[in-house]
């Protein structure tokens, strides 16, 4: 698990490059979302700036397996970006609330590796939150994503009435984090996987 912010970007270029490539393949090629693409290979938008923090699960070679982007909710471009209207109340912003976006797993690995990478990312997000005083993650997703997060032990709750984005029904959500969250993940079968190798199936 890598935690990459402005201070560590230069030395984590392998993980970042492969993460941006995976984001393009998933969000643009597979999900057909209208997002900016650099050099016909990397999905990078205006929020991938100095305020972004990335949690990246990598294989032994440092290549991306799973990742998420965290943004502060106190800046002018935060809390939903183009979905700002889905966050109707100011209490969903603050120094102890981070915006969770661009959660993805690499499409190249087999299902066992993807599952272990997903589990490692979930534990990494919770550990990062507990270590940094983050009490909630907020974001925007479709109902299926929110239902899956709930099944995996996340205390996920909807915010507001939702809306439409590119023909999809989406909803603002909050995932609340506390000292009991790791146990809830474990009870749902999400175990900290330890080292992950891409070669497994």
The answer to whether residue 199 sits within a structural domain is no
The answer to whether residue 197 sits within a structural domain is no
| Prediction pTM value | 0.89
CATH number at residue 73: 3.40.630.30
Q: Where in the sequence is the domain holding 59, given as residue range(s)?
A: 2-187
The answer to whether residue 10 sits within a structural domain is yes
In the chain, the number of structural domains is 1
pLDDT at position 89 is 60
Contact indicator for 105, 115 with CB cutoff of 8 Å: no
pLDDT at position 83 is 57
The answer to whether residue 91 sits within a structural domain is yes
The answer to whether residue 132 sits within a structural domain is yes
Q: What is the pLDDT along the chain (201 residues), one digit of tens a residue?
A: 899 999 999 889 999 999 999 999 999 999 888 899 999 999 999 889 999 999 999 998 999 999 999 999 886 655 545 556 666 566 678 899 999 999 999 988 888 999 999 999 999 999 999 999 999 999 888 889 999 999 999 999 888 777 776 677 888 899 999 999 999 999 999 988 765 555 443
The answer to whether residue 193 sits within a structural domain is no
The answer to whether residue 111 sits within a structural domain is yes
């Amino acid at each position: 698990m890598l935690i990459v912010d402005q201070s560590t970007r230069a030395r984590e270029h392998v993980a970042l490059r492969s993460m941006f490539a995976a984001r393009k393949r998933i969000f643009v090629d597979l999900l057909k979302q209208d997002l900016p693409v650099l050099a016909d290979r990397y999905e990078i938008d205006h929020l991938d700036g100095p305020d972004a923090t990335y949690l990246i699960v990598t294989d032994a070679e440092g290549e991306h397996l799973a990742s998420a982007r965290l943004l502060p909710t106190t800046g002018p471009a935060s809390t939903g970006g183009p979905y700002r209207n889905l966050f109707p109340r100011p209490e969903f912003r603050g120094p102890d609330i981070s915006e969770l976006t661009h959660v993805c797993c690499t499409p190249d690995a087999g299902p066992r590796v993807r599952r272990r990478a997903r589990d490692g990312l979930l534990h990494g997000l919770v550990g990062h939150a507990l270590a940094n005083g983050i009490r909630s993650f907020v974001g925007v997703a479709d109902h299926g994503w929110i239902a899956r997060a709930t099944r995996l032990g996340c205390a996920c709750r909807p915010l507001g009435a939702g809306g439409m984005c590119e023909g999809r029904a989406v909803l603002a959500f909050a995932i609340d984090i506390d000292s009991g969250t790791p146990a809830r993940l474990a009870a749902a079968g999400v175990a900290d996987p330890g080292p992950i190798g891409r070669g497994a199936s």
